[in-house]
Amino acid sequence: MSDGMIEGFSAQRLPGDGLEIDVLVGGSGPPLLLLHGFPQTRLCWRSVAVEMSSDFTVVVPDLRGYGRSDKPPGDPDHVMYSKRAMAKDQVAVMSALGFERFAVAGHDRGGRVGYRLALDSPGVVTRLAVLDILPTADFWASIDELSSVVYWHWSFLAQPFDLPERLIGADPGFFFGWMFERSGYEFAPDSLADYLACACDPRSIHAMCEDYRSGWTTDRSIDRDEQAKITVPTLALWGERGLVALYDPLAKWRAWADQLQGNPLPCGHFVPEEASAAVVAAFRSFFGAGA
């Protein structure tokens, strides 16, 4: 297992919403928060974070339940791992660092936390980037023959406690290793080691299941029932070889964001690693315009 560090960054334990979040901070300039996805840790942003730290103060946390952050047990309504709760963590983290307004970029689950943060705290987020996702309610409504097979883990992880926990826990190294191998992307060995070591923690397995249970219940209901719009400039990026590309992402996000731009990148799902140079270029242009 790696130490979970990014060169030139310092580690801190900071207060989230009733728990502690493990965070890396580096660089100087306007604040930029980078949020990772499933089943990864903050190291997915390593290349992007180092490049962006020359112009921004880059904050790279592990989401609650993931990596080195606290992993509380779930609750019957799956509110503990809702994206609303995870977003509150990030507001608290940034406030502890002295940032009351900041830009946000999130990949995969982190993108869901990011857009919920922008919706719930419109005076806090200055600019938002979402990478390789559709809004949660829209994704569930769009599931078809292809996505039900490619994104099978959405339904599997959302099954009631403790079916997926028991099945994954029987051989977590195989389960998560198979998922990474199936992506077709060759991850940096130390990053992959970190992802696997952290994900195989039984507390993380439970947290990730709760994350997806919340996606099916609380997150989906909030998305579907609340009609708020993202009012800050929003950038949507996605992998041209990924599933999201088949669902006209800009059309989906236009219903959510008033100031939208975006485009595909030459990669699959794991955009921050597969196309880090293209992500840095897009981020410099987009976030630099609001610095």
Model pLDDT, residue 290: 81
Please give the C-alpha separations between residue 267 and each of 109, 174, 245, 275, in angstroms, as whole numbers. Answer: 18, 25, 11, 6
What DSSP state is assigned to residue 257? B
246 part of a folded domain: yes
Please state the domain count of the chain.
Answer: 1
As a whole number of angstroms, the distance between CA 219 and CA 183 comes to: 26
Q: Name the residues annotated as catalytic.
A: 108, 269
4 part of a folded domain: no
Residue in the structure block whose two tokens are 């926990």: 165
**pLDDT tens digits along 93-103:** 999 999 999 99
As a whole number of angstroms, the distance between CA 18 and CA 70 comes to: 10
5 part of a folded domain: no
Q: What is the CATH number of the domain that holds 121?
A: 3.40.50.1820
How sure is the predictor about 1, in pLDDT bands with cuts at 50, 70 and 90?
A: low
Does position 241 have pLDDT exceeding 90, yes or no?
Answer: yes
**pLDDT tens digits along 20-77:** 999 999 999 999 999 999 999 999 999 999 999 999 999 999 999 999 999 999 999 9
1 part of a folded domain: no
Percent helix / strand / coil, the chain, rounded to 5: 45, 20, 35
As a whole number of angstroms, the distance between CA 40 and CA 109 comes to: 10
198 part of a folded domain: yes
SS3 262: strand
Range of the domain at 246: 10-288
